[in-house]
A and B are shown apart, each in its own frame.
Chain A
């Protein structure tokens, strides 16, 4: 190789290095912006204003009080819900005096996500939450209850509860 070829190789190597560095920085910036971006969950389209009626007495329906940053958040649901055609009849309700949005995520015993509700405003409830998989009677599920600050969607605390499918 003569000097001119060596020079060309050096220039090409430098250009390629710059190209790689630019690509790496661009990807890093893109990933950072992607990582920090947050898509607020949608409000539950099946939410009904009010409280669940005609509650099955065997569903162990009860209240959960979450200590959150600016007070308390009360959520009601069935601890022994039934499941019909992949619909978990959780009867999830957000108390009307809550000041936060509420949402639940359902996991199986292996911590695999099975489904989630949309956001519930204070005073709303949903009869059921759709699951991606069939759950058998007697299955134990974990319900993660998330609270969202209405304006910012910041977390105000979360808690978990274990339920058993009848």
Chain B
């Protein structure tokens, strides 16, 4: 698996941070794993298939055996990172009672999870050796039978250490009633007794360390499995229960009824509805055109985020999904926040595009490009956009691009239009009402216009609706007719 190299700002922009924040993981350790954003890349085909199969089984358990689900969730509250302790075991660094207690508690937690057989089976977790480790760490303490975990170093005392400890305890008990005269001698005796206990304890700890050494790898593996389980359970709770398991298809990236969680919930808070999208992106370039305010950027983000989420091991926010594996993800949009030292917005965009195109040349990448070259003059912008499309069309990677430019050289590619609209005669005079009515008249669904002869352009109509002076609108219409012939 690979790690997503996105900055926090990028994760925020595309809505990934929002999704991650909604995942209810139980242990802080699992949260760290979730936010590390490891994704399935092209050589993780089997892993991804297995992951979603397990997830589907877990999803079934979630609905059929809520008690088991809650028991595991409850147990995972105590999950902590035991790797530093295992490093001590492997590195011959002296362990102490707290380390041993934490290991013992971890093994008890494993046991509690294992008791939920159906859930463990469904999650694909394999637990081994925990019984042997548990026995080792129990020492001479009676079996707790599910009671709270306790540990004292005296649990492991042999006869010699038990005797030394009893002597030390008896001496310590004399202290409160010792006279000022007898105190110095008593303290010296106590010090000697304590040294003896420490020396014998060190031997016991070394014996325990040797006993634990063969289990270090298993314990590490089990820890990772528990973290995976916790994260997976959180993802399932977030998943749309109506959604089908995403399918792996290296030829097409396709969704039906896809939505962008953050946008949907933002609109919902405003009393509005998110228009779901049916979209299909293949190798080469898929184009989205449409008027301003027609939802192009949201559509791009919806596809990009859902593709990424599936490879991060999430159910997509869509009814159905076919998602290929990608080696890298590139979202080139508003670059104002990424402006590099000494470069203009245009310069920064070019540098970002160059990097994305390089990735598309060398491996299977997903590129989402929102209105490239919008920051330069329209003639050259159009030429550059046309060149970009022609070049990316020849690559094995998947590119979804939104643009206002009419491409100078016709290329046969999949083409969607967003924001189809029929505006009634006579725009309202008030600006607020005009904006609200405009939104109500826009059809935000992506419409496949790949075979259409002409794709309507609506910028002049929208400008008129929003109240730009009629003289300007008339002049613009005449100019447009002349240019278009």
A and B found bound together: no
A contact residues vs B (CB 8 Å cutoff): none
